[in-house]
Amino acid sequence: MSGDPSLNEPVGLRRILERGRDFLRFIRFSHTVFAMPFALGAMIVAAEGIPNLRILGLAVLAMIFARTSAMTFNRLADWSMDLRNPRTAGRHRLASRTVATGVCGASALLFLGTAALINPLCFLLSPVALGIVFFYSLTKRFTHGAQFFLGLALSVAPVGGWLAVRGSLAWPPLVLAGAVLLWGAGFDMVYAMQDVVVDRREGLHSMVVALGIPRARQWAVALHGMAWVGLLAFGGLAGLQAPYFGGMLLIAGVLIGEHRLARRGDVASINAAFFQANALVGLLFVLSTLADQILR
């Protein structure tokens, strides 16, 4: 027998796994680490500990379905423009338009169905959530505020997480949603810096196109400063204690490091600032909320 396990796999199975990996790259599934931690953190605070496992599982599934539907919609909406962008031209070899359309529709229906299993309010608001996350993909065609609409799409996550546990709204998740909106807008400005030439050529709008890279970088710093204050306000309103606020100090350090990286201006540094730093922000947030509940 061969020492390489992959050679012992049936060809059909190997092909299915390859297609699955390609599709996850197509929708940038790894970017789920941005919104998911804020939904989980909101759920932990709302439940005052580990949420009911059934609700937790349903909420995670709902987020995955919503994001998959939104990302495939984004790919379909930007299909021709992405083919003309050197950074994104290769992504359409990962999945066909037909597959993307089918997955978009199926994921949207699964999201609605999963929301119905959580509670009536989540189901009632689920079409609104889908509308918000879909609408972002169209905003760069008509407004320089597109980055804020991305932040708005991300901000749905903590509100949805709170509603899944409590079944009603309160000020803490709304303040947290505001912080996530500002944080998302700030990091998307950093990310958009690498596409500013293509966006101008295509007639697309963004804060970077409107302001230029130096001023957009300043705006991103300011937005992340305000987002950090929002995270502190969330902790205060929710009655969180020292473990949470200690985590916020670590998040402040990560955000400072993100903008130092972004100032270098090269693609590798921008990508590190965008993905690695912000993934760490989300991880620190959910760990801080969990530590607060466990150690109090």
- Find, among 169, 187, 165, the residue nearest to 118 by Cα: 165
Q: Does residue 23 fall inside a structural domain?
A: no
Domain for residue 259, yes or no?
yes
Within-domain flag for 19: no
Mean pLDDT of 267-282: 80
Q: Is residue 22 part of a domain?
A: no
Where is pLDDT greater, at 33 or 151?
151
Three-state DSSP at 294 gives helix
Residue-range definition of the domain harbouring residue 96: 30-295
Q: What is the pTM of this model?
A: 0.90
> Is position 34 within any domain?
yes
In a domain, 163, yes or no: yes
Q: What are the tokens at 20?
A: 């699955």
In a domain, 17, yes or no: no
Q: What are phi and psi of 167, to 5 degrees?
A: 75, 15
The whole-number pLDDT of residue 3 equals 52
Inter-residue contact 234 to 176 (CB < 8 Å): yes
- Phi, psi (degrees; rounded to nearest 5) at 50: -70, 125
- CATH number, residue 229: 1.10.357.140
Per the structure block, which two tokens stand in for 52?
Answer: 């009911």
Instruction: Identify which has the larger pLDDT, 140 or 83.
Output: 140
Number of domains forming the structure of the chain: 1
Q: Could you give the count of Cα atoms lying within 13 Å of 63 in the half-sphere of its Cβ?
A: 28
Q: pLDDT tens, 77-91?
A: 888 888 888 777 777
Among 190-204, 244-258, 265-279, which stretch is predicted with the lowest mean pLDDT? 265-279
**Could you tell me if residue 53 is inside a domain?**
yes
